Amino acid sequence: MNRIFESFYNNLIAEDRYRMILDGLQVTLLITLGAVILGTVLGSIICWMRMSRHTGLQKVAKVMLGDIMAAYCPMTVRITHSEQSGITSLDFMVEKMEASPLTEEQRSTLASQCKQVVEEPTERGFRVKLII
């Protein structure tokens, strides 16, 4: 235990390394604050553009968000249960996807574990519904 305390003291206190940790913490907090401010300002501007009465601004904001979000392939997940039929289903949709996100192996594994696997393209993306 004495060696641990001595090592801690030599590394942080005696050699003033705690200052490096405090400097790093200061830089981290400044970067975080800057990101929060920038995100808030940009989000507010895009929100204002989307809510504007000018269709030109609305379209620009929609294009800006569409291009940004397309890189992340947004996914919607929904779980439903019907008391009358006793059927529980899980469906998810990956937006802007034209083909199934499942591999053949994943599809066969799910088919063996579920009553039914339904895959279908929609206007927004590709939907997979698992009836459990």
Q: In Å, how far are 28, 110, 113, 125 from 105, measured between CA atoms?
A: 43, 9, 13, 21
Summarize the confidence of residues 101-122 as an average pLDDT.
Answer: 88
Do 13 and 37 belong to one domain?
yes
Residue 71 confidence (pLDDT): 66
Write out the residue range of the structural domain in which residue 21 sits: 2-69
Question: Which pLDDT tens digit goes with each residue over 13-39?
Answer: 777 778 888 888 999 999 999 999 999
Do 62 and 82 belong to one domain?
no
Q: Give me the number of domains the chain comprises.
A: 2
The confidence band for 67, taking pLDDT boundaries of 50, 70 and 90, is low
Q: What is the pLDDT of the chain when averaged over all its residues?
A: 85
Do 63 and 78 belong to one domain?
no
**CB neighbour list of residue 67: distance below 8 Å, 6 or more residues apart:** none
Do 45 and 103 belong to one domain?
no
Among the candidates 69, 87, 105, a domain finishes at 69
Summarize the confidence of residues 37-65 as an average pLDDT.
Answer: 86
pLDDT at 118 over 70: yes
Do 87 and 104 belong to one domain?
yes
- Rounded (10°) angle between helices 18-51 and 55-70: 140
